[in-house]
Amino acid sequence: MKGRAEKFTEHLFLVVALSSLSVLALITVFLFVEGVPLIAKVGLFRFLFGTVWAPSQNLYGIFPMIVGTVAVTLGAVLVGVPVALACSVFLAEFAPTMVRNVVRPAIQLLAGIPSVVYGFWGLLFVVPFIRSHLGGPGLSILAGSIILGIMMLPTVISISEVSLLSLPRQYKEGAFALGLTHWQTIRTVLLPAAKSGIVASVILGIGRAVGETMAVIMVLGNAVAIPESILDPARTLTTNIGIEMGYASGEHQQALFATGIVLLFIIMLLNSSAQLITRKK
């Protein structure tokens, strides 16, 4: 009796779980069915490394977007990771319980703000600030990096804080017993010990930055040229899809799906490397 009910629920849950997986499968299949013919037609090399994107002239090179994605993501890491690491060390080691109880949920709240709000805020405050103080049109890699750097904070902070907190107590006690100060302990014992978790958190944060679309469309300027400075506008892979899907048809639309395939590979690579790093531990 119990066995059958047990079996039934087990199968039910399996079906429900598989249905979410099947969505992933459907999207992947769809991406490939739509995108691969165009990549085949243009040629993988010319698609990835072509520097001209002009669908109206049948030129599909996404290299400027790849450069844009890498530049903005690197910028976001430079902006976000130091702040996030300092914050996680503070939360795990220095913060009094009361402060921690306020700061931690506040950071979680940061993750709950819709990306369009980040973009709007960036457009109204960050972009004009850059335009009037640093020059250029304001819509730039710098603006995108700042916004994405803030957006990846919650991911990086919470995962690296957890990996700091989950270290065995003996590490810290041993270090103290050897006469190290608190900061020396953090720098020479705790941070190196939590390294894999921290690196994984950064990679997941990068994944978030690479996949972000809405906020980036609003502050990045979306120009399809290879940027020459951080004050130049640029376009990422996601924004290429986001900004052009409205009117795209035929080959142009296929090219956007093909952009999605490239994006899928990048995200897969990032996620699996994050998993690999944490598992090694």
Partner 1 sequence: MERRTPRLRAIVSFPRTGAVLCALSLVLSSSLLSGCASRVQAGTILAGSTSVQPFAEVLAEEFMILYPGTTIDIQGGGSSAGIMAAENGTAEIGMSSRSLNETEKKLWSVEIARDGLAVIVNPANPLTGLTTAQVRDIYSAVVTNWSEVGGPDAKIHLIAREEGSGTRSAFESLVMNKIGITPKAIVQDSNGAVRQLVSDDPDAIGFLSLGLVNANVKALELDGVAATDAHVVDGTYKLSRPFLFVAASEPTGQAKEFVDFTLSAAGQKMLATEGLIPTSTGGAP
Q: Which residues bind partner 1 (CB under 8 A)?
A: 10-11, 14-15, 18-19, 22, 52-57, 64, 127-128, 131, 136-139, 217, 221-225, 232-233, 235, 242-244, 246-249, 252
Could you tell me the two tokens for 8? 């039934």
Least distance in Å: CB of 221 to partner 1?
4
242 in Cβ contact with 259 (< 8 Å): no
Q: Which is nearer to partner 1, 54 or 102 (CB)?
A: 54
In angstroms, give the least distance from the CB of 265 to partner 1.
24
Q: Whole-number minimum distance, CB 20 to partner 1, in Å? A: 12
Nearer residue to partner 1 within complex by CB, 100 or 252:
252
In the chain, beta strands by DSSP E: 53-54, 59-60
Q: Max alpha carbon distance in the chain (Å)? A: 75
Q: How far is the CB of 239 from partner 1 (least distance, A)?
A: 9
The residue among 93 and 251 lying less far from partner 1, judged by its C-beta, is 251
Region of residue 163 (phi > 0: left; psi between -120 and 50: alpha; otherwise: beta): alpha
Q: Report the nearest approach of partner 1 to the CB of residue 182 (Å).
A: 45
63 vs 171 by CB, closer to partner 1: 63
Which residues lie below 8 Å from residue 78, measured CB to CB, with a gap of 6+?
A: 145, 149
Report the residue number, 55 or 207, with the smaller CB distance to partner 1.
55
Nearer to partner 1, 126 or 152 (CB): 126
Specify whether the CB–CB gap between 249 and 237 falls below 8 A: no
Residue 66: C-alpha distances to residues 50, 72, 164 (Å): 10, 10, 34
Report the nearest approach of partner 1 to the CB of residue 252 (Å).
Answer: 6
Instruction: Of 68, 35, 27, 41, give the one whose Cα is nearest residue 262.
Output: 35
What distance in Å separates the CA atoms of residue 12 and residue 9, rounded to the nearest whole number? 5
Helix 251-280 to helix 63-89 angle, to the nearest 10 degrees? 30
